[in-house]
Structure 1
């Protein structure tokens, strides 16, 4: 049975989401079709608002509806510590765990030669600039405990070469091959407390 073009188009778009296959996408679309027009319209408006109202913080790179973001402008946060994460999901996981009171830097990518991925150069330059402006005492690398996370951590360390700032990385508690975004509060707390310094000779 051939589906109407608008239905098939939405299925195709939805199936491009991570972890969503064609069958799941089709189920979601048909679920929407069973809803009242007002609910469908509300869902569409919520999606459109992402492009209209959401931007990236000019300081940390996190998604926000205000620039700078609330964390960067919070005077109660410890601006001497910057926790570097690969993406926004990792930042949310750290916040929900409630184990970090500093500020963040969202790289917006990772180093993965096999996937052809690189950290945006502008993000690394912005991080270096934040350290050069002074007041930052420690960079905490919260990258995933797998080979891509290792490469990403070393890329950040290289970008900060020559600067007098302590660089540490989350350690014990995170399983090899795991993800920051899926770690629970206890695991993240253990990893934060047992972080290891990466550049002791440069202090």
Structure 2
């Protein structure tokens, strides 16, 4: 990288390859890392290596874990008849933070996106169908993201699961708390009206 020592330019280039990290953010992160005490830099490098070495995907739900099956799938207190389908492992944390959902999960590994070359065959949809047909599942909750790809993925899965006599639901979507109606798009308003509840 022009103007930087070779090792610093290499660090910036690697950081830039991360999702959502542009040139300036990569530079800030690189300088932050360089300003760490040697022990702090060593700990960061060790944490990255350890995560790469120890983390695997659960053979049941495809969540990240250090033990197979993961702690959710292995928990006998969880409702094994309800599966919440999400796109990525990070979505699991968002739902678990609420503390209300007591079922299990199924992580697809993304969403259907023809523009990015991701088809249903690239996701863990076949594995979901296998779970539904072999485990006596009562309900599948589709919690994919409320964007074009997430909606397409949810509709595709719902269509596949319909003949299997399992209840398929979709999480409600609508106006976020603190949001203004004037900034809501038509689809968000439609979903908010459809998901209305009696108070």
**What does residue 90 of structure 1 align with?**
91
Runs of 4+ in 1 over 6 A off after TM superposition: none
| Aligned-residue offset at 1:164 | 1.8
Deviations 1:163-194 (A, max 9, x none): 1211111124466xxxxxxxxxxxxxxx9xx5
| Aligned-residue offset at 1:38 | 1.2
Which protein has greater RCO, CA pairs closer than 8 Å, 6+ apart? 1
Contact 2:162 2:168 in 1 (8 A): no
| Aligned-residue offset at 1:5 | 1.9
**What does residue 164 of structure 2 align with?**
163
Larger Rg: 2
**What does residue 118 of structure 1 align with?**
119
For 1:114 and 1:146, how far apart are their aligned partners in 2?
14
**More divergent stretch after superposition (116-125 vs 6-15):** 116-125
Cα distance, 1:152–1:174 mapped onto 2, change above 3 Å = farther
For 1:6 and 1:121, how far apart are their aligned partners in 2?
36
Deviations 1:42-67 (A, max 9, x none): 10010111210001100001111111
Count residues with an aligned counterpart: 178
**What does residue 53 of structure 1 align with?**
54
User: Per the alignment, in what secondary structure is the counterpart of residue 168 of structure 1?
Assistant: strand
The runs of 5 or more residues in structure 1 that have no matched partner are: 176-190, 196-203
Deviations 1:3-51 (A, max 9, x none): 2222111111111222211111111111111222111111001011121
**1:105-184 equivalent positions in 2, closer than 5 A:** 105-121=106-122, 123-173=124-174
**What does residue 37 of structure 1 align with?**
38
For 2:127 and 2:175, how far apart are their aligned partners in 1?
28
Cα distance, 1:77–1:117 mapped onto 2, change above 3 Å = same
RMSD between aligned residues: 2.0
The runs of 5 or more residues in structure 2 that have no matched partner are: 177-191
| Aligned-residue offset at 1:69 | 0.2
In the alignment, is residue 100 of structure 1 matched against residue 101 of structure 2?
yes
